[in-house]
Structure 1
Amino acid sequence: FGDGPGAPGCGAELDRQTRLVARCGKPDMREQVPEKKARCDHYRWHEAFNLYSLPLVLVLCTAGALGAMDGWYSCAALFGHILFDTVWITWKPEALPRWAAVIQIHHLITLSLLLHPLRNPEHAVYACYEGLCEYNTFFLVARRQFKGASKIMNIMFWATFIPTRILVFPIVIGMCPKLLRGHGLGEKLNVYGCQFGLLLFNCVYLYTLLRPRKSKVG
């Protein structure tokens, strides 16, 4: 999350170099610059990955939600995308602007939830409904990357935020008592726990976006 123009860690790296200059004189550029460049590269590669892969995932989720294709395949594609992304940001947390640990937890909860429709294909369509929140993720990334169209992307970001992140999840949760009838306690705990966890995440995320920013003094 976040809309900083630079890659994560780049500013911190420059600050570290400034401190090194103050303490030791000119920094060893052979050591510092490649490290900074690598951190920035991982950020750019991850952003590009989302910009190119999310549209495909969204086409599949939309088709599954509309009944145009078997939702199980949509869930499988979404599961694969999130699993790959989880491995990436675990390997290179600097690929995200911030909150890498929080996103890792969010991804793990999502993967755990997706195991249910993968085991129960008749429920895959509901996972496709919730998978539409990736529209919001796409516009979040696009807002950072397409500076010339940032206003349009910001409008699309907010236009997709409330429907896909705040409204869909409570609706699906309300369907769970009927959908999970006959399932074991462990399955119910997994589904309910993950659903409420993701809804809580979205609400906290909304709060962080709307809370007043503290102005810096000096």
Structure 2
Amino acid sequence: RNSGGGLGEAASSRSDESTASSPPRVAPLQNLRRIRSSSAPASVRKRHPLIEDHYRVDREKRVVLPGVPKQDEDFARDLHDFFNLIVLVPVVVLNIMNWNLEPLLDSEKKADIVDAWTGEWFDSFFQTTALYFVVDLVWVLLVPSCVKSPGTIIQHHIATLLYILIPYYYPEYRWIMGACMLVEINTWFLIARRVFNKQGFPPWVIDLPPFISIRVKLISIFFYTTWIGIRCVLYPIIFAVLFKLWLALSARLETKFNVLTIALTLQFIFCVLNFKWTGDLLLSKIRYWRRGGDSKIDKGL
């Protein structure tokens, strides 16, 4: 009996040891999920909202805070920012040189944006713009760390390079490129907000040094003015004019699939993105104000 009991105890002991040493069983589906989760890149596991590139964001409260994100020393980013601030100036200036606003200011004439385009400097404007986007695209491809959202920048530049081929091959639609590229004025101020305010000062605080205060306030005013005027007003106007031209061209060619179909589609996408970004920013600001942030409403921009 003692021998039998010893064998039973030994068997029981071995069974317990085997059970204790063996890893716990995991359901196949759960195991597969763990493998996928651990193998997924960081960019897939954690999405990076585009708004965080240019605004201070409280992720827990889902609100945009006053000021811009503080910028640490980053040579790749700073060099790329200064490149944009310098090169965008001739792009914008050459664009403006192709416009004459007198027809739009004449109340007796029923002129639209097409009538204000002269195109006198289009060749120089097109070459400078195309060169800028090609160089910037290659730059981001080679040094993706120079921007926070390289994928978005790459997609935007490719779409823009394809878009500007339309006015290049169809001179009657060159005004589209000029009107759309006015958004680079807002892009300049968007970059300037970061470059000239690396400390992340809220623009409407009172106790800033005078020079910094004026600089930050002016950039903020021009940024929001051009954002609303170009992205929220001008771009829908361009879409409306394009839609009328598309209807006329479709009737003449007896097909709705023509060159303006591409332009109309891209313009619609740009309008949707502009309104989405504007809505995201506005809703975040409203949430911040309602929760009684550190600043008043007039300081929240």
TM-score by length of structure 2 reads: 0.55
Aligned to 1:154: 220
* 1:212 and 2:284 are equivalent in the alignment: yes
Matched position secondary structure for 1:172: helix
Does residue 91 of the first structure (1) align with residue 142 of the second (2)?
Answer: yes
Q: In 1, distance between residues paired with 2:163 and 2:225?
A: 25
How far does the alpha carbon of each residue in 1:103-131 deviate from its partner, in whole angstroms, 9 at most, with x for none?
22222222221110011122212311111
1:64 aligns with 2:98: yes
Q: Work out which of the two has the higher radius of gyration on C-alpha atoms and give 1 or 2.
A: 2
Q: Is the 8 A contact 1:132 1:164 kept in 2?
A: yes
Deviations 1:79-119 (A, max 9, x none): 221222122112222111x2221222222222221110011
Q: What residue is the counterpart of 1:114 in the other structure?
A: 164
Gaps of 5+ in 2: 1-52, 55-67, 101-117, 198-211, 289-301
Distance in 1 between the 2:232 and 2:126 partners?
A: 20
Q: Which residue of 1 aligns with 2:237?
A: 171
Residue equivalent to 1:104: 154
The one-letter amino acid paired with 1:114 is I
Residue type of the alignment partner of 2:87: S
Aligned identity (percent) is 25
Q: 1:53 to 1:168 in 2, by over 3 A?
A: same
Instruction: Give the letter for the 1:192 counterpart.
Output: L
1:45 is aligned to: 79
| Structure 2 Cα separation of the partners of residues 61 and 108 of structure 1 | 20
How far apart in 2 are the matches of 1:200 and 1:106? Answer: 14
RMSD of aligned Cα (Å): 2.4
Q: CA deviation at 1:72?
A: 4.3
- Which deviations, in whole Å up to 9, do the C-alpha atoms of 1:166-206 show, x marking residues without a partner? 21222122222454415772523321221111112212222
What is the count of residue pairs matched by the alignment?
183
Compute the TM-score of the two structures, normalised by the length of structure 1.
0.74
Contact 1:72-1:124 at 8 Å conserved across structures: no
The one-letter code sitting in structure 1 at the alignment partner of 2:142 is W
Contact 2:243 2:264 in 1 (8 A): no
- Residue 133 of structure 1 deviates from its aligned partner by 0.7
CA contact (8 A) 1:89 1:95 kept: yes
Runs of 4+ in 1 over 6 A off after TM superposition: none
- State the secondary structure of the residue aligned to 1:65: coil
Amino acid at match of 1:144: R
Q: What is the aligned partner in structure 2 of residue 6 from structure 1?
A: 71
Give me the whole-angstrom Cα distance separating, in 2, the residues matched to 1:204 and 1:41.
31
Asked if the contact 1:71/1:125 (under 8 Å) is kept, the reply is no
Q: List runs of 5+ in structure 1 lacking aligned partners.
A: 11-39
